[in-house]
Structure 1
Amino acid sequence: MDSTATPSPPPPALDRIRVGSAPDSWGVWFADDPAQVPWRRFLDEVSEAGYAWIELGPYGYLPTDPDLLLEETGSRGLRVSAGTVFTALHRGPAVWEETWEQVSRVAGLARATGAGHLVVIPSFWRDDRTAEVIESHELTAEQWRHLASGMERLAREVLDVYGMTIAVHPHADTHIDTEAHVERFLDATDPALVHLCLDTGHYAYCGGDSVKLIKTYGERIGYLHLKQVDPAVLAGVVERGTPFGPAVAQGVMCEPPTGVPALEPVLTAAQGLGVDLFAIVEQDMYPCPPGKPLPIARRTRAFLRSCGA
């Protein structure tokens, strides 16, 4: 070994990026499912893996009593960054009351535990477990108008009532998925109200380029989910038209840094926005053996530290 060789410079400090993880990375998709790890084990292990921030996951998985949840997270050095809701606002005003009832539960708990963000996922056009086609995968012009106006209304109400911002999550098998759909949605909504939760894995799954999106619509990025896709598995998923749920069971979402997109350029581009951003690790792997998540979580946290986060 050449002792005179110049050592590699350390990675740039990503001091605007706050890294966390979520129940999703422990195989949790539902409030109550015997295939999932118990919530106390999740909290123990996410803390042990080196994360300081978590999301609520599906409402009802973690305690819904704010005092109990604060006690359980605080004792483990954890804080809550966001809650998550699923919406079908493209169906128009008729679904508003049902939507707001769900939002109120989740946003109320998230706010009570100190979170400032609500991640909003559009409804699926096909069932992510049974593959049943629920509705057309393309929205009509009227449905696009309902979607845009509904998200703006939701953003105003969540801000006014809870003091939180929404971050709309493009997601596989929903109506906001591909680059074209994401751009249409962003162009149709008020930048001051509606922000985006860029999920690097879902965007790659649907053919999008996360770095390009950050550079083009940087002012709209309000939140990040970090995950990667296995290109070989994805090719088979696309070829066979496999729904998202079975694709996850096949391992389409993989452990960083083995997949795409490369996360270092994404994090660097996000840091370049000059704003504080949460970057929450979400490696979809429902269902999974209970002993699988923790070693992956440890390795992923170490990898992100090597990137400067």
Structure 2
Amino acid sequence: MTNLTNRSPSSRIRIGSAPDSWGVWFPDDPRQVPWQRFLDEVAGAGYEWIELGPYGYLPTDPAVLAEETGRRGLRVSAATVFTGLHHGPAVWDRTWAHVAENAALAQAMGARHLVVIPAFWRDDRTGEVLEDRTLTAGQWRQLTGLTERLGREVRERYGLRLVVHPHADTHIDGEENVTRFLDATDPDLVALCLDTGHYAYCGGDSVKLIETYGERIGYLHLKQVDPAVLARVVAEEMPFGPAVAAGVMCEPPAGTPALEPVLAAARALDVDLFAIVEQDMYPCDPDAPYPVAVRTRGFLRSCGL
């Protein structure tokens, strides 16, 4: 691997991919490719870094996973968890149990990041409204305070940096809620995983966010949205799961935002960042992801990465 201390600014962004780009949303689902095929194909497409995806999809025995990734030339950048911390202390123990198993595996694999996605306010598959889409002032305090606690705990116990992922159909989504969340949390404990596709889906401008809150950007997910499909999603108030099935997330460079300006803004931060391709494709034909991954890796090389 390249020595990070000798990187030029343009090479301080490390590219990877994730099970999500192979249509993997769940630990076990007959519509998903087997984990062995994912590992074979993500390496074959030219990526060196991966995320763990849903806990239990990849082997959870660190020795087994290290063997399987190592012989394919792959390394792990992060684990991902879903949380509902706006519900307050009553959910802490359950949340921590979920976080701890993911964080322990990430640490064992040499990863340094934990991606945290807020809970959905409506079911991402059925569209059932689970709770109000707007948090009360008290719920915001619970969300920010407990996220800071989570950031402190995972750093002290597992050596991981917590990066919160704004996500469609959650309470941290577009510019208003993202900036409110960032302004209310300690930069030393909470960073941001900027997902370019989700932020565009929710009306945000990734370049503006990076230029305004650059010190909070700790991780990137690269994806694009199809503007025509997104217009239909908005008009029909379509839930996120059906929107993905309709093709709202598309292969770059066909959608928005344009990734070249986003990557230029990220380079200007002059920090080491992971930029993980995470193209939502659930469900998909098992033969569809690999050619997309190959083309996407080629496109990112054309961007200097």
TM-score range, shorter chain: over 0.9
Q: Secondary structure at the match of 2:10?
A: coil
Instruction: Give the number of the structure whose alpha-carbon radius of gyration is greater.
Output: 1
User: Quick one: distance in 2 between partners of 1:272 and 1:146?
Assistant: 34
> Which of 275, 279, 298 is 2:294 aligned to?
298
Q: Secondary structure at the match of 2:231?
A: helix
> Which of 182, 185, 188 is 2:181 aligned to?
185
Cα shift at 1:178: 1.1
> Which of 162, 167, 172 is 1:176 aligned to?
172
The letter of the residue matching 2:247 is: G
Indicate the residue corresponding to 1:101 in structure 2: 97
Mapping of residues 276-291 of structure 1, within 5 Å: 276-291=272-287
The letter of the residue matching 1:209 is: D
User: Quick one: distance in 1 between partners of 2:162 and 2:123?
Assistant: 24
1:167 aligned to 2:163? yes
Q: Deviations over 1:234-267 (max 9, x none)?
A: 0000000000000000000000000000001101
User: Quick one: distance in 1 between partners of 2:87 and 2:117?
Assistant: 14
Q: Secondary structure at the match of 2:11?
A: coil
The letter of the residue matching 1:52 is: E
User: Quick one: distance in 2 between partners of 1:286 and 1:173?
Assistant: 16
Q: Normalization by structure 2: what TM-score?
A: 0.97
Indicate the residue corresponding to 2:115 in structure 1: 119
Structure 2 runs not aligned, ≥5 long: 1-7
Indicate the residue corresponding to 1:240 in structure 2: 236
Indicate the residue corresponding to 1:273 in structure 2: 269
Mapping of residues 78-227 of structure 1, within 5 Å: 78-227=74-223
Structure 1 runs not aligned, ≥5 long: 1-11
1:48 aligned to 2:41? no
The letter of the residue matching 2:166 is: P
Q: Deviations over 1:194-251 (max 9, x none)?
A: 0000000000000000000000000000000000000000000000000000000000
Contact 1:198 / 1:223 at 8 angstroms: preserved in 2? yes
Q: Deviations over 1:178-206 (max 9, x none)?
A: 10000000000001110000000000000
Aligned length: 298
Q: Normalization by structure 1: what TM-score?
A: 0.96
> Which of 4, 7, 20 is 1:24 aligned to?
20
User: Quick one: distance in 2 between partners of 1:191 and 1:216?
Assistant: 14
User: Quick one: distance in 2 between partners of 1:121 and 1:252?
Assistant: 19
Contact 1:73 / 1:79 at 8 angstroms: preserved in 2? yes
User: Quick one: distance in 2 between partners of 1:13 and 1:109?
Assistant: 30
What percentage of aligned pairs have identical amino acids? 74
User: Quick one: distance in 2 between partners of 1:50 and 1:64?
Assistant: 24
Q: Secondary structure at the match of 1:15?
A: helix
Q: Secondary structure at the match of 2:82?
A: strand
Stretches of 4+ aligned residues off by more than 3 angstroms: none
Q: Deviations over 1:61-115 (max 9, x none)?
A: 0000000000000000000000000000000011000000000000000100000
User: Quick one: distance in 2 between partners of 1:100 and 1:58?
Assistant: 16
Cα shift at 1:14: 2.0
Q: Secondary structure at the match of 1:174?
A: coil
Contact 2:79 / 2:106 at 8 angstroms: preserved in 1? yes
User: Quick one: distance in 2 between partners of 1:292 and 1:177?
Assistant: 28
Q: Secondary structure at the match of 2:281?
A: coil
User: Quick one: distance in 1 between partners of 2:10 and 2:224?
Assistant: 19
The letter of the residue matching 2:262 is: V
Contact 1:90 / 1:147 at 8 angstroms: preserved in 2? yes
Q: Secondary structure at the match of 1:14?
A: helix
> Which of 65, 73, 82 is 1:69 aligned to?
65
User: Quick one: distance in 1 between partners of 2:90 and 2:272?
Assistant: 36
Contact 1:13 / 1:308 at 8 angstroms: preserved in 2? no
User: Quick one: distance in 2 between partners of 1:29 and 1:92?
Assistant: 26
**12-21 or 141-150: which moved more?**
12-21
Cα shift at 1:13: 7.0
